[in-house]
Each structure stands twice: as C-alpha cells, then as structure tokens.
Structure 1
Amino acid sequence: MPGTIRPGELWWCKHYQWLKDAGYLLRPRYSPEWVPSWQGTKKVWMECEDSRGPRVQHILDATRTFDGVFVTLKLMNKSRHPYEIEIGQLFSAEPLASDPANHCVPIYDVLQVPEDQDQAIIVMPLLRPFTKPRFDTYGEVVECLHQLFVGLQFIHKQHVAHRDCMDLNIMMDATHLFIDPYHPQNLLMRRDYKGEARCLTRTQCPPKYFFIDFGISRRYDANNVAPLEAPIWGGDRSVPEFQKSNKPRNPFPTDVYYLGNIVRNEFLLVMLISDGFVHVQTQDGFDFMEPLVKDMVQTDPAKRPTMDEVVARFDQILKQLSSWKLRSRVVDKEDGNITGLYRGVTHWTRRIGYIIRRLPAIPTP
C-alpha cells in the first residue's frame, strides 16, 4: 500500500525501542504502535507527515531526547568501512574539534548494535544538501567555497584523504537558516507538514558547510607525503586517472579534482536542452573562478595544485572582487524572464536592507 513501511525500513522499526532507550526517538512512523494517520480518513496519504520514509535506507532522522536536537542516524558495517568511525572521531575530538578550519561532520555518538557486532550507528547532526535553498549572492557562494577549500585543506593537513568528496558528500547545517524546522525527508515542507518551510537568506543567517561520509577515507603516516592507493570509485566517476588504468595513485590530488569538479559543475557550467540534445555551456558570472578550477581538474594529477595552493590562490581572487560583485544576485540556471525580473527586484530590496544593516558582503557564521 502507498505510504506504508517498505522492506528497507523494517530494521528501524525493529530497533525503535532500543534507540529510544539509547536516547534517540524516531518519528511515529517507526513506532510499534503506529497506525497511518490517513487510515480510515479522507486524507491523501502523500500529504501526511508519517507517509515519508527515508531516501536512503541506511540513513534515518531522529530526535535526541535529552535536548530535542534533530540528528541523523547512519547504520554502517565496520568490516566494509573499517576506518569510518576512527577518522570521524579523530575530527570530532579535541583539539581538532574546535579548530575553525574543521569542516568535517561531527560525530555525537556511536551506538553498537547489540545483536550484530559488525553493525554500528553513527549519530551526527541533521544536515541538508549544500545547494538547497538556492544561493542569493556571489558573496554567499564565495563563503561556501572558502569553507570547502579550507575544510579540505584541513583534512589533508591531518594526513587524511577523503577519496569521495563529491557533491552528495558536502552538506550544511541549516538549523538557524530556517524559520520553520524543515522535514528531513521532504526538505521543502515544515516538519509538521503544515505548509512549506520558510527560510532566510545565507547573508541573513550564514550556515556552516561540512564534508560527510568518511567510509573510504584513509589516514597516512605523516612521513608518507605521497601515498599510493589502488583506484576506488566514489560517487564521481569522472576522475581522469581512473579511466584507463588501475595503477595505484596518490589520493590527495584526486581529492583536489573532486572538489574542483563540484565547483565546475555547480557554478561554472549550465546544461541546456534544445532540439532533444543536451548542450553544456559556460554560465555567466563565475569567470573569476575559471583559472583556478581549470587547474584543479587537470587531467594530469601531478599538475593540479595542492589544497594549500588552492587556498592561497583563492585568497588572492577574493581581494579582486568588489563589494558590488559580491552583493550581486546569482542568476539561477532555470530563471525565466518573468521569474528573473521578480527575483531581481526582490533581491535589490534585500540588498539595500543588508547595506543599511551593515551585513557583510561575504557572510561568515
């Protein structure tokens, strides 16, 4: 039946009480006493909060009972990802946890599944994709890129290669960005499903961005400055050095490619469909990033800059950007003439307000 529990959710149903005893409350959908709220009524199931299951079956939202904080629970197999907990806890412990350059998702707790010693649950903050909601100004994008560049530089300084820092593994803490708590499985809706979730702009309430998922990450000895690893496919399958050879590679330049490719695909390129064909062209407005990104995604890994060099070059780029540019509106790839005009007018209204209130053009958390 539509909206009812799917096979992949049964694990969470069976462990509802155990998680509750451990201090984490799942939504009513997973309670043993759950009865669908639309059952026996004229409600449409898809318009009910409790009809929403997880997008990914091994990741679910919950509420931490002692303080009401929304969290994410990730069910993982230690034998498959033997270093994920270790590396995650490294970044979540002092002194690294307090380092302002640390943009690794913090681990609040690790729960050992009682009946299976190979399974554990990692408890993390509730995050959402870093591009949703949309960016309003170039200054907001610049701050996002700054956090990501500094964050990957920080990871590399701890001799850790992420090895899968693609777009789905970059998220943000939007807790304070939203006026209404958003639903974890339908990001457009309020958590109570009584309308769309309202939000501020990133200039008004700057979020913090995080790298997540250290499942295939590795940490190396400090003396091993150029480790070699057999290619391992993450979410981005376009890595040039993996295309024609299984030759062991240094994973650090590959990380640089991953991050550069995110910037290229998200901000520099736009795909247009015309005559039944997909056309890729350069998007206006982000030309100031093109030289750096071009170097980050070079085919030859040896020619890519290190993250230290990326951060240094990005700092120089920022010095050349005017306040006018930073406060200008980012034109969405899908804006039409009428939509673009409306957003342009509302943007200028906000922009004047930001200047009067002395909100910085590059908003920092």
Structure 2
Amino acid sequence: MLSENTTLSGLFEALGPPPPRLITLKEQLWADSYEFLLSRGYRLRPRYHPRWVPSWGAKGNPIRLESEDFLTSYAGDALDAVCLKTKQKVVLKRVGGKELALLRRLDGLREDTRNRTIPLLDVVPLPGTEWTVVVMPYCRRFNSPPFHCRGEFVDAMRQYIEGLQFMHEHNVVHFDIAPQNMVMEESRLIPNGSHWCDPTTHSGFHSHFFAWKNRCALHPAVQYYYIDFGLSRHFPAGRKSARMKGTLRTFPMIPELSLTVPYNPFYVDVFQLGLAMGRLIDVYPALEDFRTVAAGLTVDDPHARASLDEALKQMNCVYGQMPPSVRRKRIWEKGITRWKKVTRVVLGGQWDL
C-alpha cells in the first residue's frame, strides 16, 4: 500500500516500467501499408515501420515520457507522412470510391479561384483493398493558432463563404461544415512545423515554446480549405430540387433535420457555416460587429436565411466601414491571461504547459 508521503518518482518506481505501447487497430492499416507507401514516395513516422521497436520501457532503460513514437494517432482514416520527392509533410487519407469521385470532380475545377476544397497532390490505390489513399497538403484547423486581428477573421470567412458558393454552384453539398473540417495551410504560418498528434506543439509534447507568425503578416495570404467529403453529395439535377432525409449526430440544433420530412441540404450547409462563424465570434468579443452576419445564416426558417451572396456583401460592408487602424488592431480571446498576452506580443507564441 502507498503511503500519503509517496512522491511522484516513488509512485513510478512502485508501478514499474510501462508495458510496450502497441499499434492500435485504427493505426494497423497504416503499419501494414508502410513499405508500399514508401515505394510510392511517402514515408510514415517510425512508429509505423514494420520492424518498429518502441524506444521506451526496454529492460534497464528509464521511462521516456517524451518518446515521439509513443504518440498515438486516433484519426484512423488519416495520417501524416513525408513526401520523399519534396521533403515536405503531407496528409494521407483513406477514402472510398464515392468520396474519391467527388474529390476528383472538385479538384478538376482549380481554375476557379473560389475553389476552397482541399487540393489532391496524388492518388494512390491500396493493393488488395477497396481503399484509395489521397495525398493532400499538410494543414491545421483554421482557428488555431488564434486570430491576431479582425482582418484575419474576415479573410478566413471570405474564403469559406466563397468556397461554399463555388461548391453550391456546382451542385455539391458538403453537409459537414465544422471547425474540424475547416483547415488552413500551415507551412509559412508555423515555421518550425507542428506535430500530427498535437498540432499545438512542435514536437508533440507540451514542454516547449510553440511559435507562430501572424496570418496578416504573410503574403500571399494564407489558404483556407474544406476537408472531409465523406457525407457530401453531388445533385446533378440542381440545388433547388435537392432533397434528403436524416439527422446529423453532431448538429442536433439544425431545425429542419428530420428522419421523415424531406429538406434541402444546401440550406443545411449555410446554417453550418453560420454556426461556425457564430461560435468564433463567441470566443472573440472584438468580433461582435459581425454577429448579424452569422445570425442571418442561422435563421430557423431555411428559406428566410441569408444567401451566401448576401452574407458576403454584409460582411464586406461591416468590415469596409471600419478604419484601417481598427481592422489591424489585435484582438484577444475571452478570458485570456495576461501572461499569454505578453508572450504572444513579445515572443510570438506561448508555452502550453
């Protein structure tokens, strides 16, 4: 039995070394595909090498709390890799035939600058399976790191509104617009890169300083994208006649969703984008002037919601009436500590201990 005076180090000693960390079931497909993907020019992290031996917990070795190969990737259908040709990090995603066909359709329309669907860098069928791996740029969630000013917020929302306009004009409904499916290119934003298992760190561990550049200081502008088209659909007959039934577990607040009454899913996309915008405004008090834009997109009656054209025009109007000094003024999240403010202003990042 452990006494009240047992120290943390004594507790670790009493427990003994941790058992070997094994590959999870969700990771197994990637481990099985390591050598094939390497032959196609994509190298996974050491954890997925077929002859991987954990670098911690071996007999006689100390416990290593910061072993990179200890980190588990929980998103089983996607993983990071290094492209051997360019030496750049990329994202590999396992998709089925339906999603692949839609991604190819949208990727073939790159001449439209409003196309905010994630680019396809390569397509790699997995031998002996029904799956295909699509290779995409290495991105991160669009709202992390935090926004620096109103101009950054408007640039992001403008790209997402225009991107949804583009999809809808081509009769494609996304149907799963949420922060986890809204990303941005990170290569210039995070010079030291981020770790796939924890993108708020460089190494995967919260014991070091995490630094970034302000988006408004980067030229050309940061590119924002939509990802994850697993629920998306193309309606060849057009948007007006599109009908669906069914609910979404992650969006119970959308009023028209029904298992029995047909609804137009294009209006659902509009509501979802307005919801994402409204939640972002909730975080930054300085963005309250844009509340009416988000509110117009999330009206209960689908037919009374603002159109994407109207929302873009209204947002540009609100932003255009602001003096340049207000557009560039730094904004802060609700409840941020003074320490984080100082480290961001002086050092360009923060410690996440």
Query: For the structure 1 residues 3 and 326, does the alpha-carbon distance in structure 2 shift closer, same or farther, using more than 3 Å as the test?
Result: farther
Distance, in Å, in 2 between the alignment partners of 1:46 and 1:86 is: 43
Q: CA-atom RMSD, angstroms?
A: 2.4
Q: TM-score, normalised by structure 1?
A: 0.82
- Alpha-carbon shift at residue 204 of structure 1 (Å): 2.0
- Alpha-carbon shift at residue 311 of structure 1 (Å): 1.8
1:178 equivalent in structure 2:
190
**How do 1:200-211 residues align onto structure 2 when only pairs under 5 Å count?**
200-205=213-218, 206-211=221-226
1:75 equivalent in structure 2:
94
**How do 1:292-311 residues align onto structure 2 when only pairs under 5 Å count?**
292-311=293-312
Query: For the structure 1 residues 136 and 180, does the alpha-carbon distance in structure 2 shift closer, same or farther, using more than 3 Å as the test?
Result: same
Q: Which runs of 5+ in 1 are unaligned?
A: 271-282, 351-365
- Alpha-carbon shift at residue 171 of structure 1 (Å): 0.7
- Give, as a single letter, the amino acid of the residue that structure 1 aligns with 2:313: A
1:125 equivalent in structure 2:
137
- Give, as a single letter, the amino acid of the residue that structure 2 aligns with 1:215: G
Distance, in Å, in 1 between the alignment partners of 2:61 and 2:152 is: 44
- Paired positions, count: 326
Query: For the structure 1 residues 223 and 187, does the alpha-carbon distance in structure 2 shift closer, same or farther, using more than 3 Å as the test?
Result: closer
1:25 equivalent in structure 2:
43
2:245 equivalent in structure 1:
230
Secondary structure of residue in 1 paired with 2:236: coil
Distance, in Å, in 2 between the alignment partners of 1:24 and 1:160 is: 31
**How do 1:214-253 residues align onto structure 2 when only pairs under 5 Å count?**
214-221=229-236, 223-233=238-248, 235-242=250-257, 246-253=260-267
Query: Cα deviation per residue 1:283-326 (whole Å; 9 max; x = unaligned)?
Result: 63222212221111011101012212222222222211221221
Distance, in Å, in 2 between the alignment partners of 1:310 and 1:234 is: 26
- Alpha-carbon shift at residue 2 of structure 1 (Å): 5.8
Do the aligned partners of 1:163 and 1:234 also contact (CA within 8 Å) in 2?
no
2:13 equivalent in structure 1:
none
Query: For the structure 1 residues 17 and 343, does the alpha-carbon distance in structure 2 shift closer, same or farther, using more than 3 Å as the test?
Result: closer
Distance, in Å, in 1 between the alignment partners of 2:63 and 2:150 is: 41
- Alpha-carbon shift at residue 179 of structure 1 (Å): 1.9
Task: Tell whether 2:105 aligns with 1:104.
Answer: no
Identity of paired residues, percent?
27
1:342 equivalent in structure 2:
342
Task: Tell whether 2:185 aligns with 1:154.
Answer: no
Query: For the structure 1 residues 169 and 43, does the alpha-carbon distance in structure 2 shift closer, same or farther, using more than 3 Å as the test?
Result: farther
**How do 1:12-91 residues align onto structure 2 when only pairs under 5 Å count?**
12-40=30-58, 42=61, 44-78=63-97, 82=98, 84-91=99-106
Residue range with higher mean Cα deviation, 68-77 or 23-32: 68-77
Secondary structure of residue in 2 paired with 1:285: helix
Residue range with higher mean Cα deviation, 185-194 or 21-30: 185-194
- Alpha-carbon shift at residue 90 of structure 1 (Å): 1.7
Query: For the structure 1 residues 3 and 45, does the alpha-carbon distance in structure 2 shift closer, same or farther, using more than 3 Å as the test?
Result: farther
1:144 to 156, 162, 168: 156
Distance, in Å, in 2 between the alignment partners of 1:119 and 1:174 is: 27
Query: Cα deviation per residue 1:127-173 (whole Å; 9 max; x = unaligned)?
Result: 11111111111111111111111111111111111111112110111
Do the aligned partners of 2:121 and 2:135 also contact (CA within 8 Å) in 1?
yes
Secondary structure of residue in 1 paired with 2:317: helix
